[in-house]
Structure 1
Amino acid sequence: VKEVWCPIQIMNETITPDFDGVLNVENRYDFTNLDGCTLTWRQLDMPAHGVKGDAKVVAEGKVNFPAIAAREAGTVKIPTLKPETDALELTVTDNHGKDLFTWSHQVVGKQKEAFAAKAGAAPVVNETADEIIVKANGRTYHFSKKDGQLKGVDVNGRLIELTDGPRVIVAKRSDRSMDGFYNHDDPQAEKKKTEYTEFEDLGKFTGIKAEKVGDDVVVTADYKLGNFDQAKWTIAPDGSAALDFTYNFDGVIDLMGVKFDFPENKVVSKRWVGDGPYRVWQNRLHGPQYGVWENDYNDPIPAESFTYPEFKGYFANVDWMDIKTQDGTIGIINETPGSYVGVYEPRDGRDHILYNLPKTGIAIMEVIPPVRNKVNTTDLIGPSSQPKWVNGQRTGRIILNFD
């Protein structure tokens, strides 16, 4: 609300490495000229995965707005970006010295430093009747020969129970027909408006294999005739695992991605670079800003307990996220463009008048659900709340580190 209602709006939708320093400004005051208002800017270098600390300030400064009349638009000029800048932070201050809002724009299209696996001894592969086991730098990966999924990772004798993935999760609101609209042909539709129906993946697992490729071990699980196509794991000598996944779906949906299971009662906290500290919904993307964020696990009940920001939900523009657990830390480097990182599913109040979302565990989501209000379902509250029509093959890539 604070971002949307801010009376001084910076209208640049994206900041790219070749940004010329010109910011487009709208004065949404009814009477106030902007010549008494100021803009403070900071260029920030975000920490890479595994680096402690906050963002580093590369350059900063302050400029006065020009005389832009009420209800008019104009521009303000700031310096161009230094090469190491990952984000541009902009704070607008009114003519009484009060900060109105701070935007943090990720520099879109900047060539990011590729994750480089550290040197070490080559991974070792063993097989049993039920598993493919890969060991590298104190990490032991267990892959099932029955379904091709990861069944957990041992880190120097500690089991991290990231299991049963990757697998596709696709769902639609249960009162929708397959064309995406309210299903008037279903006499029970009204009772289903807070429920979600998951599409069952009817595909078949066709096999899993492990092979050495240079200094790495590549484990490939293949599927056919369903929604999941392939999971390809590249395990490096340092114990990190890059996962390239491919899946497909055709239809109208409210939620889609790939997921893993992990016991929620073992989660302690999370730290990430991305939009935060608040979660987002498909129809509520405003507010959270790009930065370095951290919060402890919480599970408040809406309208009964008031702990913010909520720990669980869907998070936008995530470069990396560390999920600290009682057994160790799951590090996720996200290289899937346009995706969200899901950390379990938001909960509703005890009476569940808004939603009962499907279990999403720890997920990389391409489509996240909108949220309704107490009066209207999502199909009645605007274009950004409508279901998505998807078709064809989807691909994604993450790199997992376990400590």
Structure 2
Amino acid sequence: MTKHLLAILVFLFSPNLFAQPTETLFLSGTDAANTVEWDFLCTDGRNSGEWTKIPVPSNWELQGFGTYNYGHNWKNKDKKLGKEHGLYKYEFEVPANWKGKTINIVFDGSMTDTNVKINGKLAGEMHQGAFYRFKYDISKLLKYGKTNTLEVDVAKHSANESVNRAERQADFWIFGGIFRPVFLEALPAVHMTRTAINAKADGSFNSLIVLNQSKSDYSVWVDLFDLDGNKIGKTVQAEIKKGTTETFVSGKFNNIKSWNPEWPTLYDLKISLKKGTDVIHEVTERIGFRTVELRQHDGFYINNEKVVFKGVNRHSFWPETGRCLSEENLLEDIRLIKEMNMNAVRCSHYVPDKRFLELCDSMGLFVLDEVTGWQDGYDTIVGPKLIKETVLKDENHPSVVIWDHGNEGGWLFENEKWLQYWDIQKRPVICPWLLHNGADTHHYPEFEHAIGRTVNGNDPFMATELLHGLYDGGHGAGLESFWRSYESTPLLAGGFLWVLVDEAVLRTDMEGTVFDADGNHAPDGILGPHREKEGSFYTVKEIWSPVQVEPVTINKKWNGRLFLKNKFIYTDLIDCVFTWKALKTKVGSTEQIVTGSGIAPSPKAHPGETAMVEMQYGNALEEADIFEFKAVNHEGYELYTWSWPVVQPTEKAQDFITEIHSDSEVKVNENGNIVSAESDGITVSFNKKDGTIISVKNEKGAISFSGGPLPVGVDSEVTGTQWDMNKKGEFYFEITYSKYPQKAVWTLHKNGLLELEAEQIKQSLKDIDYIGLTFNYPEEKVKGIKWMGRGPYRVWKNRIKGSNMGIWEKAYNNTITGESFENLVYPEFKGYHGNLYWATLETSESDFTVISETPNLFFRLFTPAEPQYVQGGVYPPLPEGDLSFLYEIPAIGTKFKSAEKLGSQSRKGIYRGHSGDENYPIKLWFDFRNN
């Protein structure tokens, strides 16, 4: 057979010979990391009045043009409100073979009013609304095979006041410019303009097919493929008669795996439009099969499983590029959201990038897709258009399970109907902060907010904004109390923390590198602006882990059993992997020796069930100090690693103390109000009036540790002091107080160790922020710390979760959480730290170590600087001094709520005792030796 004859046969019998997929030609770059330069002129503000170049996509403020504005600036007469226009020009060529096709120019996002001209002629009416995909048919305006000129006039301030109220008079940064891609799409003369798909969990589907014209009879063929290209089931067909431009195609595919965030299975649905046997247009949609319901007085059900949304609010934001994001920005946000064990994201307060939704589909996140309207809604002129654009762009994403109609008053109820009018899936529509359409989404509830709502209500509830973060407050703090309370009712539908990232923007209009959060207005997140992890990141990760470990005490006689609660929605615990490790540590060292490790058998446990897993640890705990247990999901991602101390602090302290042998003579010198004791190269001087340390010296020189023990948290005065030598020939110095601790005793041992024992609390106390003992040490002499206890992040009384038992080390820093944007170092050095066993302070003088024998003792490490714009309960009190050892520490609040409004874990301390109680004194050992 000749090559020519073979070619003719292929030509005659190829079924897809005339198949024409939609072709795409980008005029701009594809994202913030891949841009194309266009000609640009800004009409006002910085670098205005001259034609130059600008990368597209971008926000022009970040490129050095125009005026920066935060959304509240419109209220401030002293602030210039930028109303500049950006004029864009770009020349491009269109392939000659596109003539006869339908050519659309598509904008994925342009802030705000946009006029488009092709070769000097308007492409269509001005588009209003910043976050929406819009397009124009420019087929008749193009020069095919030749150079064409695109001109775009973008007005940052809209001519429609409802657009300004909804989008620009808002509580977030206000930018201008073409910030998402611009591209051409070429379609056959007869083509599908819409392929809306409703794919159900059982494999059935219904698809709305819309044509641009209908002058003949056509047929639609639907084929399903897995992502390896294997065809699933049989082709489904439907007819479109001449004169009809719409039809529904329905069918069912067997053996389908449904989509959910835990198992985000996707398929390619190929839709072919045929005229006779010729395929004249072909579209492939990547879909997931899933069913969404809101059942009245019950909850949200997805694939017939009741869902609890564990989510966060997310702005599209990057400090150097504003709302214009790169692929890596999108990926990083989703990775971090999932790393916190969240299963959902609310797109506040606007429609997200198309690519973001594609990644949520493939990586697995439920999405609340939001039409803009911060606290005012669009009017009935522009609102219906923007709702249509929202639905038509995002309708086929399985991740999109709920439509948000604005935010906190940012709606016009007359417009709400258009969301379900256009959505063939009829997804639930909510109005965030309202009890509306059967869902209670009230924002920032207090813990006791319960009259007819939340745990005492009659409707499924999920605060679409929960625990407003600011600085180090909110987010994880109080979450455990809220969540455990909410889990007591079957009406819990979830919650969305406010917010993911600190929205501090790079100010290109200021000298130096300045990141600006507009005081405390811009969103303050769980992550820094460059996605630095705050302490709440790990708190959320633990509390929202889909595997929960029931409370357990682990010691050397432990039976090896843990009870695991399955909090997944769709995953059996048998699909997870569990490992354990036992660790031996050494006081003053970060070295850890593994005394045993292994894989625990994965139990079979359906969602909602509790199962036992048993570790065969042999003799691994005999020498161990810490036990770790890790849960990993079926994709290989860590859900959480829990850790427990195997030994009590007194055991660890005694192991250390007994290793230090010395028979040095203890010498004492008394001079007026000072008494000094010396042993094994250590000299400690005390004030005889108040019992505090005056100075410490070792063989290397002075150590500036002083000023304690000073009781803090109660008004207690020194009533007397006395010193003597005990029967072992050791120096002891006794201090008595009017109240707590009533008595404290210093002992300088022959081996040079200094011991302090302060009596247990004996008086009744209430409304206590903190109580314990404090000392002084100059902060400027500190280089770092290593310690055994909870870490590596600081804790608050209502944010203990997420800080694990272990050996930690960190260098000194002066980070102000959520404010030190130019030098944002985490974990923060200063603050309260939990469950101290020992700590070695690394200094410019001589390192020294404090060892605790007191269980559950908090260690306060200096005083974090006060943020500039403190609001609510986000800067709790700290005691006097620099280094404190405390039974109790304060909780932290949120931007809008003081700590006591956040549940039982956030309330101030209470102590009630009885004569004869054997509680725990504060017992500390100080090792000042020059090791």
* TM-score interval, smaller chain: 0.7 to 0.9
Structure 1 residue 55 displacement after superposition: 1.5
2:607 matches 1:70: yes
Q: How does 1:257-272 map to 2 (within 5 A)?
A: 257-272=772-787
Q: Which residue of 2 aligns with 1:351?
A: 869
Structure 1 residue 348 displacement after superposition: 3.7
Q: How does 1:20-31 map to 2 (within 5 A)?
A: 20-31=559-570
C-alpha change, 1:58 and 1:164, in structure 2 (3 Å) is: same
Residue type of the alignment partner of 1:213: K
Q: Distance in 2 between matches of 1:110 and 1:347?
A: 31
Q: Which of 51, 56, 60 is 2:597 aligned to?
A: 60
2:728 matches 1:214: yes
Residues 702 and 845, structure 2, Cα contact 8 Å, conserved in 1: yes
1:329-382 C-alpha deviation (Å, 9 max, x unpaired): 221000112211111234441223222523342111001000011110011111
Residues 43 and 85, structure 1, Cα contact 8 Å, conserved in 2: yes
Structure 1 residue 7 displacement after superposition: 0.8
C-alpha change, 1:143 and 1:123, in structure 2 (3 Å) is: same
Residue type of the alignment partner of 1:295: K
Q: Distance in 2 between matches of 1:111 and 1:260?
A: 22
TM-score, scaled relative to structure 1: 0.86
Q: Which residue of 2 aligns with 1:240?
A: 753
Q: Which residue of 2 aligns with 1:173?
A: none
Residues 315 and 340, structure 1, Cα contact 8 Å, conserved in 2: yes
| Alignment coverage as a number of residue pairs | 371
Structure 1 residue 46 displacement after superposition: 1.9
Q: Distance in 2 between matches of 1:32 and 1:56?
A: 35
Task: Classify the secondary structure of the residue corresponding to 1:259.
Answer: strand
Q: Which residue of 1 aligns with 2:743?
A: 230
Q: Which of 892, 904, 909 is 1:371 aligned to?
A: 892
Structure 1 residue 151 displacement after superposition: 0.9
Structure 1 residue 221 displacement after superposition: 2.5
1:255-307 C-alpha deviation (Å, 9 max, x unpaired): 11111111111111111111111111111110011111100111112222221
Q: Which of 303, 327, 332 is 2:845 aligned to?
A: 327
Residues 791 and 808, structure 2, Cα contact 8 Å, conserved in 1: yes
Q: Which residue of 2 aligns with 1:187?
A: none
Residue type of the alignment partner of 1:376: K
Residues 679 and 751, structure 2, Cα contact 8 Å, conserved in 1: yes
Q: Which of 921, 925, 931 is 1:395 aligned to?
A: 921
Which of the pair is proportionally richer in strand? 1
Residue type of the alignment partner of 1:40: T
Residue type of the alignment partner of 2:868: R
Q: Distance in 2 between matches of 1:367 and 1:110?
A: 17
Structure 1 residue 3 displacement after superposition: 0.8
Structure 1 residue 68 displacement after superposition: 1.0
Deviates more, 1:318-327 or 1:356-365: 356-365
Structure 1 residue 106 displacement after superposition: 1.3
2:581 matches 1:42: yes
Q: Which of 657, 660, 684 is 1:141 aligned to?
A: 684
C-alpha change, 1:168 and 1:98, in structure 2 (3 Å) is: same
Deviates more, 1:107-116 or 1:287-296: 107-116
CA RMSD, aligned part only? 2.0
Task: Classify the secondary structure of the residue corresponding to 1:310.
Answer: coil
Q: Which of 756, 764, 776 is 1:250 aligned to?
A: 764
Residues 122 and 236, structure 1, Cα contact 8 Å, conserved in 2: no
1:45-77 C-alpha deviation (Å, 9 max, x unpaired): 122x24x34211111111341221122211112
Q: Which residue of 2 aligns with 1:317?
A: 835
C-alpha change, 1:331 and 1:103, in structure 2 (3 Å) is: same
C-alpha change, 1:123 and 1:23, in structure 2 (3 Å) is: same
2:666 matches 1:123: yes
Q: Distance in 2 between matches of 1:344 and 1:331?
A: 16
1:16-36 C-alpha deviation (Å, 9 max, x unpaired): 322112210111111111222
Residue type of the alignment partner of 1:63: A
Q: Which has the larger radius of gyration?
A: 2
Q: Which of 108, 112, 116 is 2:651 aligned to?
A: 112
Residue type of the alignment partner of 2:613: V
Q: Distance in 2 between matches of 1:295 and 1:38?
A: 31
Q: Which of 814, 818, 826 is 1:299 aligned to?
A: 814
TM-score, scaled relative to structure 2: 0.38
- Aligned sequence identity (%): 28
Residue type of the alignment partner of 1:284: R
Q: Distance in 2 between matches of 1:401 and 1:220?
A: 20
Q: Which of 168, 181, 185 is 2:711 aligned to?
A: 168
Deviates more, 1:342-351 or 1:331-340: 342-351
Residue type of the alignment partner of 1:83: E
Structure 1 residue 249 displacement after superposition: 4.6
Higher relative contact order (CA 8 A, sep 6+): 1
Which of the pair is proportionally richer in helix? 2
Q: Which runs of 5+ in 2 are unaligned?
A: 1-539, 914-918
Residues 876 and 890, structure 2, Cα contact 8 Å, conserved in 1: no
1:103-135 C-alpha deviation (Å, 9 max, x unpaired): 111125598251224213111111111211111
Residue type of the alignment partner of 2:708: G
Q: Distance in 2 between matches of 1:385 and 1:397?
A: 27
Residues 104 and 289, structure 1, Cα contact 8 Å, conserved in 2: yes
Residues 346 and 357, structure 1, Cα contact 8 Å, conserved in 2: no
Q: Distance in 1 between matches of 2:637 and 2:598?
A: 17
Q: Which residue of 2 aligns with 1:195?
A: none
Q: Which residue of 2 aligns with 1:288?
A: 803
Residue type of the alignment partner of 1:230: K
Q: Distance in 1 between matches of 2:762 and 2:867?
A: 33
Task: Classify the secondary structure of the residue corresponding to 1:167.
Answer: strand
2:910 matches 1:384: no
2:621 matches 1:82: yes
Structure 1 residue 158 displacement after superposition: 1.6
Residues 132 and 210, structure 1, Cα contact 8 Å, conserved in 2: no
Structure 1 residue 88 displacement after superposition: 1.3
Task: Classify the secondary structure of the residue corresponding to 1:79.
Answer: coil
Deviates more, 1:277-286 or 1:333-342: 333-342
Structure 1 residue 79 displacement after superposition: 1.1
Residues 55 and 291, structure 1, Cα contact 8 Å, conserved in 2: no
Residues 321 and 333, structure 1, Cα contact 8 Å, conserved in 2: yes
1:180-205 C-alpha deviation (Å, 9 max, x unpaired): xxxxxxxxxxxxxxxxxxx533x343
Q: Which runs of 5+ in 1 are unaligned?
A: 171-198
Residues 348 and 356, structure 1, Cα contact 8 Å, conserved in 2: no
